[in-house]
Structure 1
């Protein structure tokens, strides 16, 4: 059964199996996000992971900041189950919640104020208006000086860039499949409609232009807005709530 974004439990199972192979430089992205969080390893703070999947990003954060507490949100029961397994050693520091990204009630149930708000490969399921509304709401949940960091697909500005990103994504998955499994089995599965820049599913995947999203963040009031990493159409971007902004 599909959730409101069109994502199905079968999709979750496939992503659990192949995520490490089909996401470009997945662990590099996670480490960079940790580098951008305004905290020292011994700090106590709260963070939230929107569309947490199997918990890889939150686990990387907790490994870097072992005194942190993370709220993990996902629409998939399978993903939350796997996240609980992967984060078993941090069971007392995590709060797992099922949610619907297309609704807003879950925002009202979140505590304030977070030092970091992170999301990986989730928000592109919202349209432009949905993203803007979410970014505004998340800004209001950030502590002064806190950061929102998003790792996600972005829309190509033209067809030439789309083709370049598609080729780069193919190369990355092929190399990762060979390096980690010694075979092209994962790459062959990826070729079956996974490359958004070759076979976009516009009903499910709705990435927005990167520059437009950066402008939205600035208009909302984020500071230090930027794209911190970009490869094969996958960007890490975001911004900080000004430390002097007490809301």
Structure 2
């Protein structure tokens, strides 16, 4: 499956930059749009740093052609020639609804629009669109360059040809697509957040310390990373937002523990802030 010649990404944070990186390495031209110039500059640096890491690891011989295919700016009309645009703004329903509506207004009618949402209903997001049949969820995982999974979330009005094309595009990135029906939290977030929340409750109750809780899942169940360390990597604020969304949709079993709320309020968001359930000393 050939990728669209131009792929757009709205939002250049950790996830958006990672998505841009993946499409650049697969040979697409990527137009990355941020809300203002400082954010655009920071997004460009994230992508370039990620590409440089790929060169160091031997995944890419030369960064010159790849970086030449990246355009970063603040004007959403940059998406006018794109065949696929992925919205990767923060996990806030109103913010995503506004972003998707603005993107669709400049897209060609045959383009595909996708959201990187990890928990918000695709049908809810599609309700504001004029072409919901060209819309689906493309849920990438952090860190995008290393993750092999992309969750394809199919809304009730998503066209079958869009799903087929999305499968092919994900495979062209060297990743594996899994297709799930639109439902709160889809498959990955629903299961992952539930495990993470229970691990936080265990830590809160003094059952064991963070390292031992994680080791129990890593060594006993062969998880590559324990639920608390995973929460640090994802971001405690991100996990809190998803848990709150799932609690609204699925009930109190997803109610966030007080410890999670407190750490987020203190600015301890995990790896990106330097501290969460662990202290992170690497360069951020």
Shorter-chain TM range is 0.3 to 0.5
Of Structure 1 and Structure 2, the greater strand share is in 1
Q: TM-score, normalised by structure 1?
A: 0.44
Q: TM-score, normalised by structure 2?
A: 0.39
Greater RCO, 1 or 2 (C-alpha within 8 Å, sep 6+): 1
Considering only CA atoms, is the larger Rg found in Structure 1 or Structure 2?
2
Of Structure 1 and Structure 2, the greater helix share is in 2
